[in-house]
Amino acid sequence: MKRALPILIIVLTAVLIAMATIQPNELTPATSPDGAVRALFDHVKARDYKGAFAYVANSGDTEEQAFAADLAGRDGSLRTYSSLEQADTKVLHASDNEALVRATLQYATAVGAFYDTRDLKVVREGDRWKVEWPVVQEANVPPQVIQENYLRWDVITRGSNDDWGAQNVEAPRVRIISMNAIAQGANTIIVGEIENEDTVPGFVSVGATLIGKNGDVLGEETSFDKISHTLLPKEISPFRIDFPKTPLATVKSVRMTPNSMLVPASADPVIGVVHQRVETDSRGRHVLKGELINESGVTVNIPHVLATYYDGAGKVIWVSDGYVDNALLPQAPVPFAVDLRDDPASNVHNYRVTVNEYMLQQDE
């Protein structure tokens, strides 16, 4: 016991530590197409872009810096506020020397979950597989002066000694101009549009309360981020309010509560939407695609796209949204895509895209 016990303790400790510590060499060459993609994204997850770059095939054509910027983001975009949480891979087709691997990526971002799907070409180089990384080249906009003559509304408050938060002015008149309750499985979804009917800008939100058959409240929700909160005079915003686990069949009525308050606002930045079209993506799902162009002279760091879909009668039948993980540099087009559910897709007659924005520079 005198000698056996120390030996046992030392051996047991070494074995236990080895069990929890020894892992395959992190830069082991990938021996399969999806292994190469997985290894690349494992390094991205650990923010080891140098390690990830070791799995890139066309490393002669691709600069490591551009590769890292592509994955880590730049210009204060949503990607710079993100970290990769999960990467699932699926081989779409493979031959002896090349394969196509789909990577479904889940990011944790400052605005919640962000999903991205990339179909990556993987090629064999000797006994290992490597990923051909398609680095997106940034549009190179020439230096220029952009004249801006946008409208702007300022609000003069009474003073710092007044009651905090009391505006003592009438709230801008807003009106819900369209509303539609939709059943989606066990969920109820309210979609519609709200208009600022006033001559001053308003900060709006929409709340909804579902009333059950016997008059009790089934749920209260708000439009949260599925609305443009700042509405200029006569501007219209779509909204969507989700009630999870509340079947539409149990709802007797819906009480809508639009709210508004006077705020300073400006028409800048103007973001144009071009090349909009509804397509079916490689996964067979309907998506609304297009490009955003920031027509102002300042960078929009995080754009948020809201799409409103109308049927033949002009009624709102769906509202979908999506954040864009690239910043909008002045005059540079950036692609976007938002999902469209299959069931309303067949009835879509028209659609409208509006863009919210978050700008770091605004407050600096």
Binding to other proteins by residue 38, rule CB under 8 A? no
Q: Which residues of 330-357 are buried (b: 16+ CB within 10 A; e: fewer)?
A: bbbbbebebbbeeebbeebeebebbbbb
Asked if 363 interacts with other proteins (CB under 8 A), we say yes
Give the binding range for other proteins (CB under 8 A) out of 91-99, 103-111, 133-141, 151-159: 103-111
77 binds other proteins (CB under 8 A): no
221 part of the interface to other proteins, by CB under 8 A: yes
Confirm or reject binding of residue 11 to other proteins (CB under 8 A): no
Q: Which amino acid is at 56?
A: V
Q: Which stretch binds other proteins (CB under 8 A): 81-89, 120-128, 270-278, 279-287?
A: 81-89
Residue with tokens 């710079």: 80
Considering only the stretches 65-73, 219-227, 274-282, 347-355, report the one whose residues sit in contact with other proteins under the rule CB under 8 A: 219-227
Question: How many Cα atoms within 13 Å fall on the side-chain side of residue 176?
Answer: 20
> Site for other proteins (CB under 8 A): which residue of 37, 52, 68, 78?
78
155 is a site residue for other proteins (CB under 8 A): no
CB of 70 to other proteins, least distance (A): 21
Assess 354 for contact with other proteins (CB under 8 A).
Answer: no
Q: Are 195 and 201 in contact (CB under 8 A)?
A: no
- From the list 11, 13, 47, 347, which residue makes contact with other proteins (rule: CB under 8 A)? 13
Contact code string over 297-316 relative to other proteins, x by CB under 8 A: ----xx-x------------
According to DSSP, the β-strands at 230-231 and 128-132 are: unpaired
User: Which of 6/335 has CB closer to other proteins?
Assistant: 6
Q: Which helix (H) or strand (E) holds 286?
A: strand 286-294
Residue 115 Cβ vs other proteins, minimum distance, rounded to whole Å? 11
Q: Does 72 bind other proteins (CB under 8 A)?
A: no
* Residue 237 C-beta: closest distance to other proteins, Å: 12
Cβ atoms of 49 and 68 closer than 8 Å: yes
> Least distance from C-beta 257 to other proteins, angstroms?
8
**Residue 85 sits in the site that holds other proteins (CB under 8 A):** yes
- Choose, by CB under 8 A, the member of 220, 279, 281, 343 that binds other proteins: 220
Check residue 275 and give left, alpha or beta (phi > 0: left; psi -120 to 50: alpha). left
Question: What single-letter DSSP state applies at residue 142?
Answer: P
263 binds other proteins (CB under 8 A): yes
Nearer to other proteins, 96 or 216 (CB): 216
Choices 32-40, 138-146, 223-231, 339-347 (CB under 8 A): range interacting with other proteins: 223-231
CB neighbours of 260 closer than 8 A, spacing ≥ 6? 171, 172, 173, 174, 196, 202, 203, 204, 231
Q: Are 70 and 77 in contact (CB under 8 A)?
A: no
Question: Which residues, in sequence order, are CB contacts of 49 under 8 Å at separation 6+?
Answer: 43, 64, 67, 68, 71, 72
Whole-angstrom distance, CA of residue 30 vs CA of residue 141: 39
Interaction between residue 97 and other proteins (CB under 8 A): no
Question: x-or-dash pattern for other proteins, window 187-216, by CB under 8 A?
Answer: ----------------x-x-x---------
